[in-house]
Structure 1
């Protein structure tokens, strides 16, 4: 009787392990299916970017153009795909900067401080925005508000995943460090510093021996990413146990119990 109980316990344990293995396989297959959002809140994707802080002189030298202007319009965010919709890939396959949501900002130019263009308006592109069930943010790109007075250090977009999409545009040199909000009392403000507009203008108007050298910027700037996903995307994997060995263990337990009962 003791042997029957002992082997019965062994059989139950083996069956339990087999069940866990089946759950693991099911969970693994679920990881390869499209993410479904059952809440009203968009799924958040946060891009963390490491970058080098430039001096005012470096901002001037590494920029293709510098302007003072006003935020005229903030266009609807889009994915960097041909149709502006979500890429046809699984959520956990998204990569920065290959797969991003971007927002174009229309700037009404009051004054060109470097390399003047013929247009009275230009478009500045930043990473971030909400499209459908997805919301993307970064800790580096600047934010804009309609009607905001700004001084912008700008360079051409060299990201192959965005530079040919949509209208001709610029990006802000050195992320939020290159966008200054101008106040009525003569201040120029970024999240990192507050200076006077006069101080910036003096630096910009100085003769530069490195005008428009964006190659140096591309070599210095490093963008490391970390896909920040919320609790809606959590791994539910269970340590895998080979199904073949599990089946063998269960079969062996059954044979042992049957033999023990027969001998009695």
Structure 2
């Protein structure tokens, strides 16, 4: 085989490996990683949503949003509280909007499954583990999976995902 053909084949192999690595990173963390790195995992409904603008010039993000979810079910670490406050960067305040692509977004009245970590700066406030990869809307018994983190599909039945999460906890 000529050197030209070998170089061509080697180039194709390198390109395919790059595509595979990029695909893996685009998929986000695996379910097991999300479960392990989350303090708690809940199913709940967004009851309140409030954005505020920071007055401190030292903060990089000047709009933050807090949402309160009424907890329907704890999938990991039952904390026996009915409402959980989640904080994230971005939101809308007095007509000014700040979109942070890596942060999960919540809609009033939305039912969702959320992987949560403790906020080390604020007591009794939680952060979404993995940003956009840690929050999923639930519609008609289906978990909407826009990041395709769960087995490369667009949506998965809620009861099936709950069973897989509980398997990861054991």
- Residue matched to 1:121: 83
Distance 2:34 2:143 in 1: 14
Alignment size in residue pairs: 140
Whether 1:54 and 2:35 are equivalent positions in the alignment is no
Following TM superposition, by how much is the alpha carbon of 1:205 offset from its aligned partner in structure 2, in angstroms? 1.1
Who wins on radius of gyration, i.e. which is larger? 1
- Residue matched to 1:112: 74
Selected match of 2:129 from 169, 173, 186: 173
**Structure 1 length normalisation: TM-score?**
0.48
Following TM superposition, by how much is the alpha carbon of 1:133 offset from its aligned partner in structure 2, in angstroms? 7.8
For residues 1-264 of structure 1, what are the structure 2 equivalents within 5 Å?
53-79=28-54, 85=55, 87-88=56-57, 95=60, 99-131=61-93, 135-158=97-120, 163-164=121-122, 168-184=124-140, 186-193=141-148, 194-208=155-169
Question: Closer, same or farther in 2 for the Cα pair 1:142/1:183, shift >3 Å?
Answer: same
Gaps of 5+ in 2: 1-24, 149-154
**Structure 2 length normalisation: TM-score?**
0.72
Task: State the structure with bigger RCO (CA 8 A, min sep 6), 1 or 2.
Answer: 1
CA contact (8 A) 1:51 1:174 kept: no
Distance 1:181 1:132 in 2: 26
Following TM superposition, by how much is the alpha carbon of 1:53 offset from its aligned partner in structure 2, in angstroms? 1.3
- Residue matched to 2:21: none
Following TM superposition, by how much is the alpha carbon of 1:68 offset from its aligned partner in structure 2, in angstroms? 0.7
Distance 1:78 1:168 in 2: 21
Gaps of 5+ in 1: 1-49, 80-84, 210-264
Following TM superposition, by how much is the alpha carbon of 1:66 offset from its aligned partner in structure 2, in angstroms? 0.5
Distance 1:57 1:149 in 2: 22
